[in-house]
A = this chain, B = another copy of it.
Amino acid sequence: MVQLVDHYPTRKLETPSFINRKDPTVYNFDINQNEIDLLQLESYDNNGYLFLDQFFNEEEVERFKSETKILLEQSRSAKNPEVILEPGGDEVRSVFAVHEKPGFFKDLTAHPRLQAVIRQMIGSDVYVHQSRINFKPGFTGKEFYWHSDFETWHAEDGMPNMRALSCSIALEDNTLYNGSLMVIPGSHRVFVSCVGRTPDNHYKESLRRQEYGVPDQESLTKLVNEGGIAMPVGKAGSVLLFDCNLMHGSSSNITPYPRSNAFFVFNSVENKLQSPFSADKERPTFIATR
């Protein structure tokens, strides 16, 4: 594959640095759907995320829960690479590539109301770059350190530009206490170039524990001093949309409440993957659709 110019070099230099974003966050400001208005779109542009409380109704949420339960049961005994376990345990942490098997979750990625919002932001047709169901079990859910998803998708998957977003659908009520996602508002406007080379088959470890592509403490402190920290929480059925370069992470979950969510990444059809920018090998397609 042709290697494009690398606008966001990472894992190549000795010291971390900030690189200004070269791409828009919102690609189309002409409102072309009825789900979100211009104010919401501008808020997404500014903060790098948008929280839509109770986007899905109670009936839909009931269906989410029963389908998640079925998936968890099936995954417990499965030995597929798509099933990721918690570090140091055998609880299921995530199930990947749920958009590839015909069924409920594949249909959910194509949900017309959801698609309308996403195409508004991305300004083109989109496809699913990655999908997974995350089970953050009660009592034992582990923290996930700060990161920009784009850093990984760029370095390890060859995503050239910032024209993708993540969509997290809450399958349970999220509270302030059960390890919900924390975001640094505005952090999507700069790219934190990380240090350290990507080791071979990094993905096998990185889905459980991160060591490379980790932003440095000084850069994180600057971002937090500027933007603060927000934790968008709400009822099951709420949707969090966030830009591919928004810095986010989560604390551990010692509460009895699990925090499951469906996590879909939509990429523009005009932003197709190239060769990885900072890794020797492509990651498997269950992690990065090609």
Contact = CB atoms under 8 A, between A and B. Distances in A.
Contacts of A250: 254
A220 B177 contact: no
Interface stretch (A6-14, A138-146, A163-171, A235-243): A138-146
Q: Is the interface of A mostly helix, strand, loop or mixed?
A: loop
A256 B176 contact: no
A80 interface: no
A251 interface: yes
Contact of A221 (B176, B179, B252, B256): B256
Contact of A254 (B138, B251, B253, B255): B251
A229 interface: yes
A128 to B, nearest CB: 28
Contact of A217 (B176, B220, B251, B256): B256
A137 to B, nearest CB: 10
A231 interface: yes
Interface string A121-142: 0000000000000000011000
How many copies the complex holds: the figure is 2
B217 A139 contact: yes
Task: Give the interface size bracket for A toward B.
Answer: 20 to 34
A253 B255 contact: no
B176 A254 contact: no
The listed residue with most B CB atoms (<10 A of its CB), out of A177, A250, A257, is A177
A220 B175 CA distance: 17
Contacts of A182: 177, 254-255
A175 B225 CA distance: 14
Nearest to A179: B251
Interface string A141-154: 00101100000000
A224 interface: yes
A196 interface: no
A45 B256 CA distance: 25
Given A139-B220, A217-B139, A177 B231 contact: yes
B143 A252 contact: yes
Given A139-B217, A217-B139, A220-B139, A254 B177 contact: no
Given A139-B220, A252-B252, 13 more contacts: A138-B217, A143-B143, A143-B251, A145-B254, A146-B254, A175-B229, A176-B176, A176-B231, A177-B229, A179-B251, A220-B256, A250-B254, A251-B252
The 8 closest A-B pairs by CB, nearest first: A251-B251, A221-B256, A143-B252, A252-B252, A251-B252, A177-B229, A224-B256, A176-B176
